[in-house]
Copies of this chain bind each other. A is one copy, B any other.
Amino acid sequence: MAKSVKGGAAAPTDWSDEAGAIGRRARAAARQLASVSTNTKNAALAAMAAALRSSADAILKENAADIEAGKKAGLSAALLDRLALSRDRIEKMACSQEEIAQLRDPVGEIIEGYTRPNGLQIQRVRVPLGVILAIYESRPNVTSDVAALCLKSGNAAVLRGGKESLRSNLAVHKTLAEAAAAQGIPADAIQMIDNPDRDLLAALLREDRNIDVVIPRGGEDLIRAVAEQSTIPVIKHYKGVCHVYVDELADLDMAEAICFNAKVQRAATCNAMETMLVHKNVAPRFLPRICRRLSEAGVEIRGDDRTRRLWPQATAATEDDWYAEYLDLVLAVRVVDDIQDAIDHIARYGSSHTDAIVSQDLKHVQQFVRDVDSSSVMVNTSTRFSDGGEYGLGAEVGISTDKLHARGPMGLRDLTTYKWVVYGSGQLRT
């Protein structure tokens, strides 16, 4: 990073100053943090877990105030549920800190190392990204999860939660920051933005000299707004329009179990199936049985013409349905001519999140794996497995459908970059 476009025309000057100060404090903390030992970071995480437990009363009190204000403001029951903390939820937050302490520290790993013919020893060494700005909505547990993930990976965190959970977030943050500082972590390593003004956020999103990456978590609107405004690189996924393609040569019992699991097991997640594609040759046998089972589980089916001939209870799917991320018990269904038709559908309407094929045919599986350009491609299993925990990454930072840096479920490793370190003994370039 060079001298930069700090505080562009879009942000009012007062907020640029405030954002600049936040960025500089974070950068200074990040420089210190890069050399803090793993033992110290783990001790801080243990202290943070203990502090969450011992401060539960104070946190719950602030949370109750947020909930009360939210009720007055007319927040939906779903939003209030996401906002609400309990002793149980705080215990889970504390456990999560302890689990992150158990993960291997990615910083300092030598990714590769070799010696050149002239004797130069070349290493790529894993280092923290630096400063991470996390932007999220109502859940206060994100505050503690992201703080812990950033700390373990040696990054300074700037946390910006939703307005409706501000008092809860500040209580959680105060608890964590004090516990971390007592273990020798720089005070500005975990900063929480206490001003919910959107212009301050806009100014922070232009602090590209001192903030290295922005990670927004939340709905598509939030993420789009952040990506549009930011001059800092953003790691994101907009939505998960996940497909399961049931091939002509599928084991139909397996296909039924996978499709049911992918749709029904937890419909509100980004890795749930939203569109089912069925090869025309198996549709007459497969569609009635899977649609019956899904309907019995309360799933609304929206089908194309060929689907509706085989399952007349389906409503007619519109063009919008193929793009839709329902996050609910609704499923778009289409009968396709062949595997190429399925691949083309996914390329046109998909979100590059997670897409699956059910087939026993090696050639079809190879074609699907090669030609479907999604961050996760599944063979004979449920899209619901697309998850950092299920992939064995430990705590999940998020999911990326971008192509640069990290793709798919992101773990602690994806909060790092590398530097080249070259050891010589006086070599000169000729």
Contacts and interface: CB of A to CB of B under 8 A. Distances in A.
B122 A402 contact: no
A323 interface: yes
Per assembly, the copies of the chain total 2
Interface string A363-384: 0000001110111111111101
Interface residues of A, number: 78
Contacts of A418: 407
A239 to B, nearest CB: 6
Contacts of A213: 403-404
A75 interface: no
Interface stretch (A40-48, A158-166, A253-261): A253-261
A155 to B, nearest CB: 11
B429 A377 contact: no
B351 A2 contact: yes
B391 A420 contact: yes
Contacts of A370: 34-35
B403 A257 contact: no
Interface in A219-274: 220, 224, 227-228, 231, 233, 235, 238-239, 241, 251, 254, 257-258, 261, 265-266
A116 interface: yes
A377 B31 contact: no
A377 B407 contact: no
A421 interface: yes
A427 B385 contact: yes
Contacts of A423: 379-381
A261 to B, nearest CB: 4
A371 B426 contact: no
B31 A426 contact: no
21 contacts: A31-B373, A34-B371, A116-B391, A129-B403, A130-B403, A228-B231, A233-B402, A233-B404, A257-B428, A261-B429, A266-B429, A376-B419, A380-B424, A380-B425, A381-B425, A381-B426, A382-B429, A390-B429, A391-B422, A407-B417, A407-B420
